[in-house]
Amino acid sequence: MRASSLLLLLWRLRVAFFLMLAPLAHAQAWSTRALGEIAVYPEFRAPAAVVASEEARIAAEVPARIVAMPARDGEAVARGAELVRLDDAAYRIELDRARAQVALIDSRIELARVQLEQARTLAGRGFISADGLRIRSTELGVLEREHDAARAAQAAAELALARTIIRAPYAGVVRERLAAVGDLAVAGTPLLNLSATAAAEVHARVPAALVEGLRAAPTLLLAAGDTAYAVHIRRVSGVLDAAGQARDVILAAERALPPGLAGELRWRSRTPHLPPAYVQQHEGRLGAWLVRTGTPAFVALPDAQLGRPVAVDWAEDTAVVDEGRFSLGLRADGPAGEAVGGAR
């Protein structure tokens, strides 16, 4: 009987020992890591392409047949280089006619001036009336106005002749020839496409929600194939695309890039993000377990989404519960919260 009582006492002591040990084991069932150790800085991407700062469809300004097109497709040309030469025979004839008209009127003006001087001499002697003198003066004035009109016609003929040679308005590359030697060019007919090579810009379409993060990003890169080019923001369009809720961001590259180069604009957030594995659901809210004053506390994250990193404004030394985070908040009769974001 004494042995049975002794065994019962030992069993009760053992049970009490384990009951005392259980809270201690539960209290040490979790561990923490600093936010700076687990934080991620997600990379964002947006389609981008290099666009020429200037791109023009060079057209004829006067009608004539094309006699030469020295610039070929894909050829780089300097500013002022000859792109197209038109047949100028008719315009040279017109210029010669205008010059002859000016010379003719110059001769008539010279004669009218001599006659006016003679009339003034005769009028002083009383041989010509005041009306006769006024007529001579008026004739000279009319001829001078005709001279002005003839000089304007000569200038127009010179301008038309000059337009038979089409020159590059800026340094660039001939993207495409739209006409050929022998074609009859009509005023306004596009002859070739010319793209400027200097000061090319990078255009990217960025979702509106990411624009502020893009502005704050320390480094911006245009990734094209296996090569990445450093770029910086030049301006952001104030117009929001209604369909895609995106804005056009114009950037400048730190080195010359060929127009037409396409790729992706890439940047990393400067704000630390909590990895998805640390985001849990507790009492119907998404958040994470932090240790404050030595005790785990659940902190809700209103912007959190399942399976995606969430931006946080915590200090880098913030203690985030790591091991054992999925057992926190569980009741004895069942789970009070469901772990979200994947297994440890």
Which residues does the chain have with pLDDT short of 70?
1-28, 330-344
pLDDT score for 17 = 53
Give tens-digit pLDDT for 70-125.
989 989 999 999 999 999 999 999 999 999 999 999 898 888 888 888 878 887 77
Contact assessment for residue 32 and residue 325, using Cβ atoms and an 8 Å cutoff:
no
Q: Over the chain, what is the mean pLDDT?
A: 85
Ramachandran assignment for 338, one of left (phi > 0), alpha (psi -120 to 50 degrees), beta (any other): beta
- The per-residue DSSP string of 155-166 comes to HHHHHHHHTTEE
Residue percentage of the chain with pLDDT more than 70: 87
Query: Residue 8: its pLDDT value, please?
Result: 58
Task: Please give the C-alpha separations between residue 335 and each of 37, 122, 251, 322, 341, in angstroms, as whole numbers.
Answer: 29, 128, 52, 19, 16
Note the pLDDT tens digit of each residue in 34-75: 999 999 988 999 999 999 888 899 999 999 999 999 989 989
Q: Are 252 and 198 in contact (CB under 8 A)?
A: no
Q: Secondary structure of 72-124 in the HEC alphabet?
A: CCCCEECCCCEEEEECCHHHHHHHHHHHHHHHHHHHHHHHHHHHHHHHHHHHH
